[in-house]
Structure 1
Amino acid sequence: MTCSKKCLDIPVWRRYTLTIEEAAGYYHIGEGKLRMLIDEHPNEDFYVMNGNRALIKREKFERYLDQATAV
């Protein structure tokens, strides 16, 4: 039995990682700002690199935002 793509779609708020584009829409932070945060915080654990693609770890990024006073 196969499952169509529609049944494999996971809501953004349930995903472990988000693409830069998805995170920008979800958090209302620009793609450029997200890329800059990754560049400025290379030792933070709120992202993971998949090749040359950065993926945002949703829950860890939310904890980072909770502690940040400005983005």
Structure 2
Amino acid sequence: MKEVPIWEKSNLTLEEAAAYSGIGINKLRDLTSEQNCQFVLWVGSKRLIKRRLFDKFIEQEYSI
């Protein structure tokens, strides 16, 4: 089975997003639990991070 690199995936799990960004899993859970979070995708109860929107979010923020 061929594995796709993280930077080429469109959606990331919390673990992948934490490794990709250096932000902790618990902080990512807090951010994605907010009602107006633009970069979260819910698949049932599974939480995925939309990588491109997450990148934009990080670029615009001063602190998290």
Select 1:60's aligned residue among 40, 53, 57. 53
Match for 1:25: what amino acid?
A: A
Question: Under a length normalisation based on structure 2, what TM-score does the superposition of the two structures give?
Answer: 0.92
The structure whose Rg is larger is 1
Per the normalisation by structure 1, the TM-score is 0.84
- Root mean square deviation, CA, Å: 0.9
Structure 1 CA distance for aligned equivalents of residues 53 and 5 of structure 2: 17
Which residue in the other structure is 1:21 paired with?
15
Once the two structures are superposed, residues 21-68 of structure 1 have per-residue CA deviations (whole angstroms, 9 ceiling, x without a partner) of: 11001101100000000113x222211001111100001000011111
**May I ask how many residue pairs the two structures share in their alignment?**
64
Unmatched runs of 5 consecutive residues or more in structure 2: none
1:31 to 25, 29, 32: 25
Q: Which secondary structure does the structure 1 equivalent of 2:47 belong to?
A: strand
Q: Percent identity?
A: 41
CA deviations on 1:1-40 (whole Å, 9 max, x unpaired) are: xxxx12xx11100000000011001101100000000113
2:59 maps to a residue whose letter is D
Runs of 4+ in 1 over 2 A off after TM superposition: none
